Amino acid sequence: MLDIVSLLLVALLFGGMLLYSFGFAAVLFSTLPAAMAGATLRRAFPHFYLFVIVTAALAALLLWPQDRTSATLLGLIALSTLPTRQLLMPAINAATDGGRKTRFKWLHGMSVLVSLAHIVVSGVVLARFV
């Protein structure tokens, strides 16, 4: 039973990150004015990161007894999301608010790389269920 719950949590994590990264943000910027889309994303990101932290950590705990490699990978996702949420996201917001476009682009690029890495790693964990 725990293996099914673990599988569903990893699938939720993988799908949720994909949908948020490539669906939600794209829809916002294609349907709302840029300032409103940006403000909405700014309010949504803390919740998204909390979702990633909780889902990855819970899946890691459930997987630990049967697959320590996958559990460790998920734990790394949860742990690396903490500084992304608490440090990188506020720095991105400060760069935006201060009109520092070069700094924003660099920090945003880092956040994109972190998100892509999380998606790839969660996909690897998901594939390990097969």
pLDDT tens for each residue of 70-114: 999 999 999 999 999 999 999 999 999 999 999 999 999 999 999
Contacts of 75 (CB under 8 A, 6+ apart): 56, 57, 60
**What percent of the chain shows pLDDT beyond 70?**
100
- As for how many domains the chain has, the answer is 1
Residue 108's domain comprises 2-127
Distance CA 97, CA 4 (A): 44
100 φ, ψ (degrees, to nearest 5): -90, 85
Query: For residue 130, what pLDDT is reported?
Result: 85
35 φ, ψ (degrees, to nearest 5): -65, -40
Query: For residue 3, what pLDDT is reported?
Result: 87
Distance CA 83, CA 103 (A): 18
As a whole number of Å, the end-to-end CA separation of the chain is 16
pLDDT tens for each residue of 22-36: 999 889 989 999 889
